[in-house]
Amino acid sequence: MSLKAKRLEGKTAVITGGTTGIGFATAQVFLAHGAKVIITGQDQERLNSAVEKLKGEFKSDTIHGVRADVRSIEQLSALAETTGKLFNSHLDILFVNSGVAGQGKAFEEFDEQEFDFTFNVNFKGAFFTVQKLAPLLSNGSSVIFNLSTVQSRPLPALSVYAATKAAGRSLVRSLAVHLAPRGIRVNAISPGIVPTEIGKHSQDFDKTKQLIEGLVTATPLKRPGTPEEIANTTLFLASDDSSYLTGSDIYIDGGYSA
């Protein structure tokens, strides 16, 4: 990566779900471009490990870890309080990245518990993450949602997951209008197939693996994406290079949605 121009110099960022995968790769890119970063995670041991890795890589104390479950309003409020203290009540970038993968189940197989869990993390969690941290956002700041290409290309095995991401897309549009008077931009990225740790936690890993293989076959570039490729697009939305972009959704999917 060329660091001739650090695109986030002096900026502050919060990345939810930043211990692995796309969130971790985005933290690396943000730190490399000069930002001060807070990452969150549910598991304290994994969170500590991620922070130590990032500190070791960048030889810097500009990275912090805060334990937070996005399903908990109390923990999100605590995250906002801690962010305010660490960043002097000034937040430039919020990457709403926490989420759970689709279960690869048919519509008829889903039960209420699974439905509620998926919506509570992917949509309710995203909604209240922004609500609790919005008071810290400054003029010219950027909010970025991590959605998915499946929101607009239906798959029978991902009906609930896709619905949470479609709800997120609608929320991006609403928040873009709502926060515009404060000079805050709200956009989204919609990755295609990007193998990360999140897929390994599927209740039926074999079925999920088969689903992924089928999606890769349907992708024009015939390969999955990498967390680093997604992070580089997130960097664009976080930086001033995207200063006239709001309410948008960038598909990063190797041509799958096309």
Cite the active site residues. 161
Distance CA 73, CA 253 (A): 32
Distance CA 157, CA 145 (A): 23
How many other CB atoms are there within 10 angstroms of residue 258's CB atom? 10
> Count of H helices and E strands in the chain?
8, 7
User: What number of other Cβ atoms are within 10 A of residue 174's Cβ?
Assistant: 11
Tell me the Ramachandran region of residue 104: left when phi exceeds 0, alpha when psi lies from -120 to 50, beta otherwise: left
> Which of left, alpha, beta for 228 (phi over 0: left; psi -120 to 50: alpha)?
alpha
What residue type is assigned to position 13 of the chain? Answer: A
| Category of 189 on φ-ψ map: left (φ > 0), alpha (ψ -120 to 50) or beta | beta
H-assigned helices in 44-158: 44-58, 73-86, 112-119, 125-133
Lookup: tokens for 163: 């619905």
- Tokens of residue 91, six digits: 């937040």
The token pair that represents 254 in the structure block: 């190797």
Bridge partner list, 139: none
Q: Are 240 and 140 in contact (CB under 8 A)?
A: yes
- In this structure, the number of other CB atoms found within 10 A of the CB of residue 205 comes to 12
